[in-house]
Amino acid sequence: MNSTEYIKGTKKQFLYYKSIAEKTFDTLTDEQIFWQYNDTSNSIAMIVKHLWGNMMSRWTNFLTEDGEKTWRKRDAEFENDIKSRAEVLQKWNEGWQCLFDALDSVNDTNFNQPIYIRNVEHSIQDAVNRQLAHYPYHIGQIIFIGKMIQDNKWQSLSIPKGESATYNKKRFAQPKHKAHYTDDLMYDPHKS
Q: What is the CATH number of the domain that holds 34?
A: 1.20.120.450
Task: Give the integer Cα–Cα distance in Å for 156 and 171.
Answer: 19
pLDDT-based confidence at residue 191 (cuts at 50, 70, 90) = very low
Q: Is 123 a domain residue? A: yes
Q: Is 12 a domain residue? A: yes
The domain total for the chain is 1
Q: Is 25 a domain residue? A: yes
pLDDT at residue number 137: 97
Residue 24 belongs to what domain range?
A: 3-158
pLDDT greater than 60 at residue 57: yes
H or E element at residue 116: strand 115-117
Q: Is 128 a domain residue? A: yes
What CA–CA distances, in Å, run from 22 to 1, 41, 57, 111, 141? 30, 21, 22, 30, 13
